Amino acid sequence: MRVGRVNSKYVFDSYRLNSDFHLTDGVVYDRFFRSMNHETLGALSSDIFCAGRSKRIYVDKENGIPYLGNTDITSSNPLSSCNYASKKFWKEGKGFLKEGMILTGRVGQNTVGAFSFASKEVEGSIGSDNVIRIISNGKVENGYLYSFLASKYGFHLARRHISGNAQPFITEEMLADLPIPILPQTKQQEIHSLIIEASNLRAESNKLLREAIEMMEEKLPSIEFKTIYKAKISSRTNHNSRIEATYNTNSIEGFYRVLNENNIELKSISELSDQVFTPGIFKRIRTNNPDKGVPFLSGSDLLNQYPNFQSFLSRKMKNIDNYILRDGWIAIQDAGTIGYLSYITKFLDGVSATNNLVRVVPNENDNKNYYIYCFLKTKVGQNLLKSLEYGSVQKHIDNHQISSFLVPIFHDIEGAISEKVEKCMINLSDACFMEKEAIELVEKEIESWQES
């Protein structure tokens, strides 16, 4: 239970009599910052806007422009799974994103209040009509403005303004009214530099990953998953007991046949790793005290450029160690959106995660997870993973299927691919540590005001 005293002026000004409203973090922070040296977000921005609705026709990558939605803008690799809009209908206008923009979702339970910093990688991409763009006017350092909005203070201030029940939303006008405290210029510059460096590292890491994937795909036989095909049941039941069409596509058989004909070594993930497992369903005992808990993430949380640790499992929970992820592991979504996978970096070492993730633990003296991760991120790897799914309403795969999943070993490029993916993950981890440091500088400075 939260208990507090509220000036009657706030009650009459807000027309709200319910106590839970006046004691929420967003309302408390709002009153605090308006009593300090501050400016509104609108006064610190040259523009806060959505691009508006427009006609869009999705095409293949070669003929389109990256089109980023709410979840894409917060992704650690925003261009990896986005749609592409036809260039014919997008030649100019306010829809294009620019480096340095601060972005947030206009609608959605998990996207309103989640801010991201547009890197040079997304320059020239299109943002959907549900993406709010914030452009700094230079009165404060852009990196500082982002760090405050990405801090716990900015998160709760934005969430305070959420409207709607079934579909939560926020408007540009609501955001423009957010109070932004003004830190000393030297502190702003320190924070800004960290955010810019983190943004550059993320762009570089994604470039390295694309290069590794392209190197792998040049070696892989092409595979086209046809929707209409034929195969003899007798030839399929020899090695599996599943007869549904999506699983028995002869494209998969053809893919592995070409590899065998070219004497390409094939090894299962279980042969290349130390362990493949899922921890099983468990009762989640949560705590609101970060000092007594372990950050708990979903599969989608792991894909964010900066995972927001808002949920914690109690350290006293039975078998808590079974659900903790470690540096170097691969986590593969086994329910819902099949094909999502994450490489666990040093920044994520020690977090707990949902049981709906298959964990791939590398061999201690011979880490093949960089190579495995790259193959699973290729177009072929993604199609092969999706071909394993079963179930009607809720799609699933399991750790036994992942254990036996065959990976082609191209010895001539294995080292180069692993080196690129390793550097990619180091950069992603360093970027998160830098952003964490920037946000902590903001929060510690504000906490010192509250203590004085």
Across the beta sheet with 102-105, the strand order is 45-49, 131-136, 102-105, 115-117
Check if the beta carbon of residue 158 is closer than 8 Å to that of residue 109.
no
230, pLDDT greater than 90: no
376 contacts: CB under 8 Å, gap ≥ 6? 330, 332, 341, 382, 385
Are residues 346 and 238 part of one domain? Answer: yes
Q: What is the largest CA-CA distance in the chain?
A: 81
- In-domain check, residue 291: yes
Q: What share of the chain in percent tops pLDDT 90?
A: 55
Containing 444, the helix (H) or strand (E) segment is helix 411-451
Mean pLDDT on 168-185: 93
The single-letter DSSP state of residue 328 is T
219, pLDDT greater than 60: yes
- In-domain check, residue 173: yes
Are residues 166 and 79 part of one domain? Answer: yes
Are residues 299 and 158 part of one domain? Answer: no
Are residues 290 and 175 part of one domain? Answer: no
Are residues 178 and 67 part of one domain? Answer: yes
CATH (domain of 119):
3.90.220.20
- pLDDT tens per residue across span 272-282: 999 999 998 87
DSSP E strands in 64-151: the ranges are 64-68, 83-86, 102-105, 115-117, 126-127, 131-136
Rounded distance between C-alpha atoms, residue 175 and residue 44, angstroms? 12
Q: What is the DSSP string of 187-229?
A: HHHHHHHHHHHHHHHHHHHHHHHHHHHHHHHHHSPP----SS-
Are residues 165 and 45 part of one domain? Answer: yes
- pLDDT at position 239 is 45
Mean pLDDT on 1-24: 57
Identify the residue with better confidence: 332 or 21: 332
The single-letter DSSP state of residue 58 is B
Mean pLDDT on 24-31: 84
- pLDDT tens per residue across span 102-159: 999 988 777 778 899 999 999 999 999 899 999 999 999 999 999 999 999 999 999 8
- In-domain check, residue 426: no
pLDDT category of residue 316 using cuts at 50, 70 and 90: confident
- In-domain check, residue 447: no
348, pLDDT greater than 50: yes
Rounded to the nearest 10°, the torsion over CA 428, 430, 431, 433 is 120
Mean pLDDT on 418-442: 97
Rounded distance between C-alpha atoms, residue 326 and residue 115, angstroms? 26
- pLDDT tens per residue across span 351-374: 999 889 999 999 999 999 999 999
Pick the last residue of a domain from 165, 182, 199. 182
pLDDT category of residue 238 using cuts at 50, 70 and 90: very low
- pLDDT at position 107 is 87
- In-domain check, residue 344: yes
Rounded to the nearest 10°, the torsion over CA 79, 81, 87, 90 is -70
Are residues 214 and 151 part of one domain? Answer: no
pLDDT category of residue 319 using cuts at 50, 70 and 90: confident
Q: Give the β-pairing of 293-297 and 352-353.
A: parallel
CA angle at 45 for the pair 41 and 49, rounded to the nearest 5°: 95
- In-domain check, residue 9: no
Check if the beta carbon of residue 261 is closer than 8 Å to that of residue 405.
no
Average pLDDT, the chain: 87
- pLDDT at position 89 is 77
pLDDT category of residue 300 using cuts at 50, 70 and 90: confident
- In-domain check, residue 21: no
Region at 350 (left for phi over 0; alpha for psi -120 to 50; beta for the rest) = left
pLDDT category of residue 234 using cuts at 50, 70 and 90: low
List the structure tokens of 335.
């329910």
CA angle at 19 for the pair 16 and 20, rounded to the nearest 5°: 100
148 contacts: CB under 8 Å, gap ≥ 6? 154, 180, 181, 442
Work out how many domains the chain is built from and give that number.
2
pLDDT category of residue 6 using cuts at 50, 70 and 90: low
- pLDDT at position 176 is 96
- pLDDT at position 412 is 96
Are residues 222 and 148 part of one domain? Answer: no
Are residues 177 and 298 part of one domain? Answer: no
Are residues 213 and 159 part of one domain? Answer: no
Check if the beta carbon of residue 152 is closer than 8 Å to that of residue 144.
no
Are residues 142 and 258 part of one domain? Answer: no
- In-domain check, residue 413: yes
The single-letter DSSP state of residue 252 is H
Are residues 152 and 54 part of one domain? Answer: yes
- pLDDT at position 10 is 54
Q: What is the extent of the structural domain holding 158?
A: 36-182
Region at 108 (left for phi over 0; alpha for psi -120 to 50; beta for the rest) = left
